[in-house]
Amino acid sequence: MSTFNASCPKVSVNLSGEHAESRSFSQRKAITRLAAAILVTLLTVLIAPTASRAQVLYGSLVGNVSDPKGSVIPGAKVEVTNVGTAETRTATTDDRGAYILNDLQVGVYKITVSRASFKTLLKEDLKIEANRTFRFDAQLEVGEVQETVVVTAGQEATLQTDRGDVNVTQSARQVNNLPLFGSVGRNYQSLVFLIPGTTRGTGGFFINGSGTEDNSAAGNPQRSMSFNVNGVSRLQNNTKIDGSSVIYPWLPANTVYVPPAEAIQEVNIVTNAFDAEQGLAGGAAINVTIKTGGNDFHGVGWGYDTNSRFQSRTFFQPTNQAKIPKNILAQFGYAVSGPIILPRFGEGGKSTWNGKNKLFFFTDLERTTQRNAAGTTRTIAPASLRPDANGNVSFAGTGATIFDPASNPDPRLRTPFPGNIIPASRIDIAALELIKRLPLPTGPGFTNNFASTGVASFNRTNIDTKINYVSNKLTMWGRYSRSPTLIIDPPIFGEIGGGALNGGQLGTAPGLINVVGVGGTYTFSPTVVLDGNIGYTRQRLGAEAFDVNTPFGLTVLKIPGTNGPDRLQGGYPFFNITGWNNLGNDNTGNPFLFRDNQYVAAANLSWVKGAHSFRFGADYLNPRINHFQPQGAAFQTVRGSFQFSGTATALEACNAANTGTDVCAKPGASQSVAAASAFNAWAAFLLGLPSGAGKADQLRNPNSVWWKQYALYARDHWQIGRKLTLTYGLRWEWFPVPRKDHTGINRFDPATGQVITGGLSGLPLNGGATSGPGLFLPRVGIAYRYNDKTVIRGGYGQSSDPRPFQDVRNAYPIVNIWSMASLSFNGLSGTSGFIPVTTLRQGLINTSTPPDLSKGTIPLPPNTGTTTFPKTPMRGRIHSFNFFIERQLPAKFAAQVGYVGTRAVGQMGFININASAPGTSDAGRPLIGFGINADINSIQPYATTTYDGLQALVTRRWASSLFGVAYTWSKTLNFADNDGGPRIQYLPAKQLNRGPASYDRTHNLQSYLVYDLPFGKGQRWAKEGLASKIFGGFQVSGVMSIMSGIPFYVVQNTAPALLARGSGQVPNQVNPTIRILGGIGTPTQRGAAGGPWFDNTVLGGPAIFGVTCTSNCSWALENGARFGSAGRNNLRGPGFFETDMSIYRTFSISEKVKFQLRAEALNATNHANFNLPDANVNSTTFGYITSTYGANQSRQWRFGARLSF
């Protein structure tokens, strides 16, 4: 037997599914029938109740066979065998000496190439990855077929030789051995940031500006991470597990399920020029492959402990806080795989049936628990502002004058309470009941006088079970994933709420996620293979306060109109008292209950014909959200809400020009009075006189939105010659008009001012809306192998903007958000803010007529906003293109560098179609003719997002070690970020919104390393003896991130003269060049060391730490009816640097049993990364950075152990 070395370049293949546009009802039926026919065919072939997985789950192998002179060898037999399962596939070379094998399961293969008159060639370590094409060219030696030549290709990095997409695969070794991060443990998604073109966003609701995790833990219990890829919206990423989409329907930047790291076999990520099979993605198409079993039993158990005892102090941690607040996170579990062994029944023979080479299993379980001490300082009324022994409340010593609203109906002529004391007889019973339950301050003074403490808990279990069946023609698999969660976030003030102590959803948040997938392939012949998949996802998530079972607003506080007949409307109403901490349940999205379903399917047919590898397929996606969560309000809650600004106990200034000298000349009237203070607000609360009141009602439960997406595609992978490969295809996508469970969508029609509900009053289910013919999306890629070490490739493709219409959930009339109208004295508009809208004794009164839900057409009431979409929904295209050169370098390095571009033409946004011009107020709204003076947000294309980037990737793989460096130099320009709307919504001023995206990072350098130290058995040094025992078995790994700062927008949040309804204001930028001063922290935080990040001098602005600017200022308030001159996102915040490192030590208990100790340091250098500065010119901290940024805001040690066999 002879051996020789050969390099075998490998190439990435990119495939996945789902996407669609719009069409008529009859066309929709036709497409439904077509999709059903494809699926029925698949079901019949597989003889199973459900279909199977798509090509995106598999890899392909291509190559050419030649003789020693380089001449082609037709008729050679190519046989590949999966080392783990013994599954075998064969192909025969054609007249060009070429072969193609598609639909190969992920794993390590043995390949043999044989032909009469030639020696058999054998390679035993060929790794096949999902959604990639690998090339193995074989040169046969003359001889007997019984003689074998063994190819030992080593560990050279392989090239992408046969595809034009941008395609990266992260192996199980990377996922399991690099230090992963996340707010509740190890999350494989943290490695997505290692991919060129990927940036961390600006989110981080739950973990203090981490830029990775969005939404509360209750709404996102998997702690899924969001990211932007190649400049487009984070909603344009599509993640699949084993080929089935797991996009979170309501929060599509997240995923429904995040499997444990130990369950993942590999992660394939495509970011540009997608194959025609891949849809519903304009940024990244990600497929996660769950491990499968094999002929040998394997198992692993692990445990990790992250304890605040081993955490360094954060940069802004107060000096008087001696310890880090307690945070204990534990993550532990197991995974087992192997052949399935079943008992035999009957007499004779073996007692068990062994599934070796046929039937395999994989199962894992991971438990995550977190207990953290939550709390901060709050502001509550001290004992001096609560009823004394006689029941009176004195405001002596506060510096505020409390005016009696009952002293004069004209708020300009009120007189103070005698002695500045509110008598007991005037204090409302609701205020008394709330104060009775409000704890006393823990510290002195009127502000920051209460230290809130408590313990929040997070509990989650992830379970995966996967079964695989293998035979000569049929392969099948099934997977079930389950994840129950229980999250508890205690209230700040106990019984009367005050908000969630940990900043999430108040109270208890139970959840249960189920994900099911079934798939398989059927081989008709070596050249014709059918595959497909069907998946189902079920989410049941919710959160409710501890008091939800009791209607406290009605029964204890005696406030009419609060709470409601539904249990979920129970609990304390929301009391917003200016200058003081909120009371009651202040979360406008609490409680909520989600019962969401998602159905996905794909069917594909592969046909190899000569130099062509054809593939045809269909995709189907059907998300269904079913919610209770009356959301979208500014302050209204389902329990009822009350605002106390203090104007009810303040004196209004008299303006003689507007109100007449007869009033202004009366005693007590004044043209210059003090504004309402926090003490006036507390007094208004005591009197039960709110300045605002309202409620959010959900008139139907559940509130549902269902939508479907269809796609068809055809693609050819054409090997034009031995060096040139062309991939071209066409994809059609269609997004029909969404619907509700029993009716059509409540769509506002701006042409009539009416809300149309399909399926009612004789209207068609689509309510007259049509979705058009769909989009035809061409895809093309080309790869040229210049030589064995160099590949030149490029690609172009179009995708539909996949942003769904899930936000129409909050549309009127199902969600009816109302507030009590403001009142004025004798019709004088200037007095309306000083007259209470109601009293707590009168309660909440909805003066408008409740909408009739049985009618198909109803008017949109005045003062009522809604969410809609156009009658003919438009959907933009995302153009992606790239050009790369890839080269295999000495010392087992491989490098690629190229240009990547994206044009999201008409990126979908939240567009206010009822915004008015500056100076016109409500009278200038386009829909004021219908009496509509509220914002109408339409989900529709807005403007083009552009991305241009240079991307480079250098990798090295040797032995079992890995190294990679990814660099991106790019620029993203857009008009609004992700699924949001622009700040300036007035359409003629649209161009003022253009600027760098808020997630744009000019420079982004990422690197990673997994390195086995060269000591111990089988290594270079210390191979034996005591030295081997001491120094052997060590591994180090790490991830380093260096990024430019992200841009920020200097705004002016207070601009009473702008009068451009629906738009926000920006100041004037006086100095064309704004100096970056580099200060960190305020004087309050850091004393003399604190300072502004940039030149924050504002003409006409507030005093900023005692300093005002009167000349040579860089900014100036815009006090007129026009938009300021400041550009969008034209300044940048601090850069980002973080290094996560780990060291592992492996002990060999036996040849097959290993025990490993792990120590990981997240943010190992304890480098503080800072958040963006306060960018509101009206703020007294304008220009100052007051917090840190990132998932790991100080060094945190994590310790773990791992036992494997």
Q: Please report the pLDDT score of residue 194 as a whole number.
A: 97
CB 883 within 8 A of CB 926: no
Angle at CA of residue 691, ends 687 and 692, nearest 5° = 120
14: Cβ contacts below 8 Å, ≥ 6 apart: 131, 132, 163, 165, 167, 270, 273, 274, 275, 277, 278, 285
CB 1141 within 8 A of CB 1036: yes
Instruction: Please name every residue paired with 148 in a beta bridge, in sequence order, or none if there are none.
Output: 120
Helix, strand or coil for residue 97? coil
For 59, 699, 958, the CA distances from 152, given in Å and listed in that order, are: 21, 69, 14
* Nearest CA among 125, 470, 495, 55 for reference residue 287: 55
Instruction: Please name every residue paired with 1131 in a beta bridge, in sequence order, or none if there are none.
Output: 1048
Report the DSSP pairing between strands 507-525 and 866-868: unpaired
d(CA 979, CA 1000): 16
E strand or H helix that includes residue 1116 = strand 1115-1116
CB 817 within 8 A of CB 534: no
Return the structure tokens found at 421: 């004391």
DSSP H stretches of helix in 485-584: 552-555
For 44, 258, 495, 597, 806, the CA distances from 706, given in Å and listed in that order, are: 29, 24, 38, 9, 8
Helix, strand or coil for residue 721? coil
Helix, strand, coil in percent for the chain, rounding step 5: 10, 40, 45
- What CATH homologous superfamily does 2-151 map to? Immunoglobulins (2.60.40.10)
pLDDT, one tens digit per residue, over 632-670 is: 678 999 999 999 999 999 998 876 445 555 567 677 777
Q: Is 474 left (phi over 0), alpha (psi -120 to 50) or beta?
A: beta
For 1038, 1160, 1162, the CA distances from 1142, given in Å and listed in that order, are: 6, 4, 8
Which residues in 339-358 are b (16+ Cβ under 10 Å) and which e? bbeeeeeeeeeeeeeebbbb
Q: 389 phi and psi, to 5 degrees? A: -60, -25
pLDDT, one tens digit per residue, over 893-945 is: 999 999 999 999 999 999 999 999 999 999 999 999 999 999 999 999 999 99
For 51, 198, 999, the CA distances from 995, given in Å and listed in that order, are: 46, 19, 11
* Nearest CA among 551, 539, 626, 629 for reference residue 590: 629
Q: What count of other Cβ atoms lies within 10 Å of the Cβ of residue 440? A: 11
Stretches where the chain sits below pLDDT 70 are 1-55, 153-157, 201-211, 322, 632, 655-663, 665, 671-672, 829-830
Q: How many residues does the chain have?
A: 1205
Q: What percent of the chain has pLDDT over 90?
A: 78
Q: Where are the domains of the chain?
A: 2-151
CB 1189 within 8 A of CB 1135: no
Helix, strand or coil for residue 909? strand
Query: Rg of the Cα trace of the chain?
Result: 33
637: Cβ contacts below 8 Å, ≥ 6 apart: 573, 574, 585, 586, 587, 588, 590, 630, 695, 696
Q: Please report the pLDDT score of residue 325 as a whole number.
A: 84
Cα of 869 vs its chain's centroid, Å: 23
CB 729 within 8 A of CB 714: yes
d(CA 825, CA 837): 12
Helix, strand or coil for residue 751? coil
- Give the end-to-end CA distance of the chain in Å, rounded to a whole number: 33
What DSSP line would sit under 332-366, residue for residue? Answer: EEEEEEEE-EEE--SSSS-SEEE-TTTEEEEEEEE
DSSP H stretches of helix in 1068-1162: 1083-1086
CB 292 within 8 A of CB 362: yes
Instruction: Please name every residue paired with 1202 in a beta bridge, in sequence order, or none if there are none.
Output: 302, 1156
Sheet holding 754-757, edge to edge: 746-749, 754-757, 857-859
